Structure 1
Amino acid sequence: MILGLGSDLIQIHRIANTIDKYGDRFTQRCFTEIERRKSDRRAQRAASYAKRFAAKEACSKALGTGLSFGVYWRDMGVVNLPSGKPTMHLTNGAAKALARLVPPGHVPHIHLTITDDAGLAQAFVIIEALPANQVDQTPATL
């Protein structure tokens, strides 16, 4: 069953300008170490950060909290499965918000798609609850 849906669209130049103005102060505040390592080695660094920023916004919307109620930027991080498919890893306040959404006997699964084109970065997040006895994947919060 679907528990939450979120989307976000951002202009890449806004993230580029923020990085130019605040540098590590911005990236350290908003992104996990894994996200920073991945984005910092990309040729299109600002686009990589913008996609991850959009994913965090979309995830916070899917959680139904936005960036409030104890959910902070670094509580949500884009990670890639061994296949390369992106998903979200939630910790702290975001993990607690997710736990409140999931009915007993179910585990969360977070679907994420991110893209960029023509100066825009976009992300969609779907949070799904799967019956625990039918899941062969690690829950999104582990």
Structure 2
Amino acid sequence: MIIGFGNDLCNIERIQGSLDRFGEKFEKRCFTEGEIAKARKRMRTAETYAKRFAAKEACAKALGTGVPRRGVHWKMMEVINLPSGKPTLSLTEGAAKRLAEITPDGYVAHVHLTMTDDHPWAEAQVIIEAHPS
């Protein structure tokens, strides 16, 4: 069963503006060390960050909280890639706690993520499913 759904659209130029204005301070506020390392290796850094920013917003919506609310903050949601390359989210601290709160007893939650960009937009969708354990 679906227990959460979130969608977000992010302007890549706005993310580039934040990078230009705040640089590392912006990166460290919103992204994990792994996400920063990945983005810095890419030629299209702003697009990489914009997709991840949208993913975090979509995830917070799927959790029913928004950011930063109810103990869910930016760095508690990390976009990672499975061995296949498929993106997903790793949740820690308050985000993991919130996921546990919305997951029915006897069920296991699975977070699905898709991201895309087409300048000047980046978009992400998150679906949280619960399956009987």
Normalised by the shorter chain, which TM-score bucket? Answer: over 0.9
Which residue type is aligned with residue 32 of structure 1? T
Please tell me the root mean square deviation across aligned C-alpha atoms, in Å. 0.6
Alignment gaps of 5+ in structure 2? none
TM-score (norm 2): 0.98
| 2:23 aligned residue | 23
| 1:62 aligned residue | 62
d(CA) in 2 for partners of 1:3, 1:35: 26
- Asked if structure 1 preserves the Cα contact closer than 8 Å seen for 2:108 and 2:131, the reply is yes
Residue identity (%) = 58
| 1:91 aligned residue | 92
d(CA) in 2 for partners of 1:130, 1:106: 5
Deviation (angstroms), 1:104: 1.1
d(CA) in 2 for partners of 1:118, 1:100: 36
Structure 1's consecutive aligned runs of 4 or more residues displaced over 4 angstroms after TM superposition are none
- Asked if structure 1 preserves the Cα contact closer than 8 Å seen for 2:109 and 2:131, the reply is yes
d(CA) in 2 for partners of 1:127, 1:30: 22
Map 1:29-68 → 2, pairs under 5 A? 29-67=29-67, 68=69
**SS of residue in 2 equivalent to 1:6:** strand
**SS of residue in 1 equivalent to 2:72:** coil
Deviation (angstroms), 1:35: 0.6
Deviation (angstroms), 1:130: 1.1
Deviation (angstroms), 1:11: 0.9
d(CA) in 2 for partners of 1:52, 1:92: 18
Which residue type is aligned with residue 4 of structure 1? G
